[in-house]
Chain A
Amino acid sequence: MVRDMKLGDILKEYPFTEEFFEQNRLDIKGYENIKFDEFLSSLTDQELEDNAIDIVKLPEELDSYIEQMMEFLGIEKSSAVKSLTILPGHDKSGTPESFERFDILPSHIVSIVGPTGSGKSRLLADIEWAAQNDTPTGRSILINDDRPDPKWRYSSNNKLVAQLSQNMNFVMDLSVGDFVEMHAASRMVENVPEVKKKILEEANRLAGESFLETTPVTGLSGGQSRALMIADTAILSSSPIVLIDEIENAGIDRRKALELLVSQDKIVLMATHDPLLALMADRRIVIKNGGIHKIIETSAQEKQLLAKLDTLDEVMQSARRKLRAGDLLDISDGDI
């Protein structure tokens, strides 16, 4: 039992508890040879009051924290999400959705189309919450063909969905390297330098302009930020499902970005009206009046069209590259 262990032994056995003591502002340095409750009762009344410490609850909280973290590490290693299934509900008027079931496997890309306010957020929320016919749409979500574990709903470490939305920013003022390290630490990743290197490499592959480990995240361009966010989410995020809300075209190779996410066995859902992205998906969900109106498989013809659109896109991209390099453009730069 943790309560019978000395603080030093707790730290050795469960290194992640350092974060618990740190965040709770408990300075246990020098007290490695006593137990947690002994440490707490050594604090003066003044210290307890000044730091708002609840000595009765803290030991229980340490127990819960250790339990959660152990479970979290266990999940990381064993059971992954092998499939996500959406079972039909109904739209805003109560009309049942017409599909039977919709299965998505890791490395599948599904796009979601429909006007603003049609119910895209609701669909995402159903997935995030692992709905069990208990949300306004009446949909149910299965994970690995089974009712999802309640942990997906309430635990902060086990969120099903990671989101990349359009207006995301870095609000912290750290270098790229420190930033990735901090994220890695919160995920209790073992080989931090290697992970950091990989994220930086991938991010630079996606970004038009390269950046360094020492670049401050707040100094990155829009494209670079997005590239770092995508690489970081692909490699470090604990969530098996990634939802993307439009990737802007500027300064990032979107095809490579999707390939990267898929290569990390993520399930990718993408709300977009950009034909280049929507057609890259294997299937697309059409949302209408709050319900899933149709599920369309990307046809062979659409895939051919995608190749054409890619060529068009390449024209734009290469003109952009030339501009950035300070070159002159000529009329043939518009040739397809």
Chain B
Amino acid sequence: MNLTIFSGPPSSGKTSVILKTIDSFKRRGLKVGVVKFDCLYTDDDIMYEKAGIPVRKGLSGGLCPDHFFASNIEGVVKWGVKEELDLLISESAGLCNRCSPYLQDVKGVCVIDNLSGINTPKKIGPMLKSADVVVITKGDIVSQAEREVFAARVNAVNPKAAVMHVNGLSGQGAYELSTLLYDEKMMINSVQGMKLRFPMPSAMCSYCLGETRIGESYQLGNTKKMLWEE
């Protein structure tokens, strides 16, 4: 089985891009399944179901979604193997722009959109910087100049990635993306022992453990203060 990890800010067009890309896999007779990670709610699984794609969803609820991802990805892979998929796609929203769910040796795709503004590449951390493929969406609604500037800035933070424009509505570019995602020789049946490409931010403070009161004496563990001039 092939495995691809999709990530990207909320509403950047991940699901549309994945749906259009799976269309071209179907034509090639490949079986593709999706596991969608989100925090509180998602109905994207219904969209996948409607398209006849095997799907599971994982809601992290009160936990950090990327930590939740890391502790569940092995289960996801087991499910994919059981379903006899040719390609398993994991989709997760990068909620704080700091984390990235990519694993070493597993293809990582970051989806970002032109509408998010040209400073976005600078704001997104490892999720963009350590991706193998960067898909830029919503190019049909911004000017050519903004598309070019946006792509140039993506290139500056991640010069090694293949950068592609995909239109999630018309599907333009989705076929091309599909050629980068599936490799016959690739065989993954477990991710046990694999490593994240980048460590997640360390946060272990009283608020992680359910503290709700504000005030110096309630702040325990790994906390950090803003600097103020005297």
Contacts and interface: CB of A to CB of B under 8 A. Distances in A.
A266 to B, nearest CB: 12
Contacts of B117: 171-172
Given A23-B121, A154-B163, A156-B163, A163 B151 contact: no
Contacts of A38: none
Contact of B141 (A49, A168, A237): A168
Interface of B is mostly: helix
Interface string A87-127: 00000000000000000000000000000000001101100
A168 B176 contact: no
B145 A179 contact: yes
Given A124-B172, A125-B175, A129-B176, A156 B144 contact: no
B151 A168 contact: no
A135 interface: yes
Interface of B: 24, 27, 98, 114-115, 117-118, 121-122, 125-126, 129-130, 139-149, 151-160, 162-165, 167, 170-173, 175-176, 179, 198-199, 201-202
Given A23-B122, A61-B159, A183-B145, 12 more contacts: A19-B153, A24-B157, A54-B129, A61-B158, A121-B171, A153-B176, A156-B151, A170-B146, A171-B115, A172-B117, A182-B145, A237-B144
Interface of A: 19-20, 22-25, 49, 51-52, 54, 57, 60-61, 64-65, 68, 121-122, 124-125, 128-129, 134-136, 153-157, 159, 162-165, 167-172, 179-180, 182-183, 186-187, 225, 229, 232-233, 236-238
23 contacts: A22-B122, A23-B157, A24-B129, A54-B126, A54-B129, A54-B198, A128-B173, A136-B175, A154-B163, A156-B154, A162-B148, A165-B140, A165-B141, A167-B141, A168-B143, A169-B141, A183-B145, A186-B148, A186-B152, A187-B152, A229-B143, A229-B145, A232-B144
